Amino acid sequence: MADRYLSFTGSAPGRFLTRRLGLPQPSALRRWSPERPGLAEGEVLHLTAGKPAPSAAGSPCAVVLDATGVRDVDGLAGVHAALHPVVRSVATSGRVVVLGAPLDLADHHQAAAQQALEGFTRSLGKEIGRGRTVNLVRLTDRDAAESTLRFLLSPKSAYVSGQVIEVRGTALEVPVDRDRPLAGRTALVTGAARGIGAAVAETLARDGAQVVVLDVPQAEEDARKLAETLGGRALALDITAADAGERIAAELPDGLDVLIHNAGITRDRRLVNMPADRWSSVLDVNLASVLRTTDALLAAGTLRPGGRIVATASIAGLAGNAGQTNYGASKAGIVGLVRSLAPRALAEHGVTVNAVAPGFIETKMTAAVPLLIREAGRRMNSLAQGGLPVDVAETTAWLAHPASGAVNGQVVRICGQSLLGA
């Protein structure tokens, strides 16, 4: 369903009226397309906290601030001094990326100053407006952060703001073809016949992957049509089956490089009115099936070294949502899975494990939500609008990128910096 309010505020009368009434004034986001693969015209301005800023002509399309050397409260003054003169001039749908260092727990002054950067970037993201985003990247090696910076400084990250992403390690794989970084790799997407899953499958195929479109037998026709369009293959399978992992492994004897856990359901009802079957069905699809199939595929060696696992969480699992105790529990469980499995999967199998956590995404499901609730969902984020399935897909593709091996154990929200949750 079209966002009519967003269209209205893009008109001259809409801008005038919403300004007078103090209503949200969202800007149409610039997303990636083959015709417009970059941000708006303008330079990327590189700044360093505590050093004089270079002169900039016009409006920069992005600002990268190196704050890795900030170690105390006095150093934070350099962050203000660097961004204060330029933040107003950043182009519409522009980017601000702050580079920070991991917290040194042996130095509480450094830890305090670096943690302060998180509050700074989240706050700036909520006030910067005009479709611009602000994110913080904590890194130990700049080369290992290349894929992350390319993503955050591109239109592909249009709905990702207020995030803190850790990039640890030095391992870096540079794809032969930057336009098709997943060429030669096999990706499996669950729940891929429609909606967000279909967008993920399409984006991974765009990036060169051979995609296996997995969905329940009832959606087999849609899955086959999509697979044919993408030059991939369909797999009709109930992901909650006890032997789902073993059956996937048997279907992929040559192995798998990218595993996307997207399948999910909702059975909303307040806890006092929720029968056991509505609870168990959501937990089984959204969490138990992810645990079972991941364990089976890792044990079978189906996921090759250098592989990627990306699971789908939700801001409902981070902030909670009335009427969704089952859904919120299942999605919070994904976060726990990622935090626990990521270091072991990397050490034992050479596979990274991350999660995406969508907020309000414009789908057929959200189109059926009552008007007032739908409008609240759209406006209650720093970008004052809903996201699109492609926003989740682009973030997933970045985490699946061969050069994203130093991004592990992360839960990245695709929510326009929702005003709910951390």
Catalytic residue among 32, 279, 327, 398: 327
3-state secondary structure of 70: coil
* Rounded distance between C-alpha atoms, residue 253 and residue 107, angstroms: 50
- Residue 97: which H helix or E strand, with range? strand 95-100
The pair phi, psi for residue 369, each rounded to 5°, is: -70, 145
As beta bridge partners, residue 312 has 356
What residue spans of 284-388 are helical by DSSP H? 289-300, 315-319, 325-349, 364-367, 371-379
**Would you say 362 and 200 are in contact if contact means Cβ atoms under 8 Å apart?**
no
Q: Which amino acid is at 204?
A: L
**Would you say 114 and 136 are in contact if contact means Cβ atoms under 8 Å apart?**
no
Query: Dihedral, CA atoms, 217, 332, 256, 390, nearest 10 degrees?
Result: 80
Active-site residue, 159 included: no
Give Cβ neighbours of residue 123 (< 8 Å, ≥ 6 apart).
none
- Residue 164: which H helix or E strand, with range? strand 164-167
Active site residues: 327
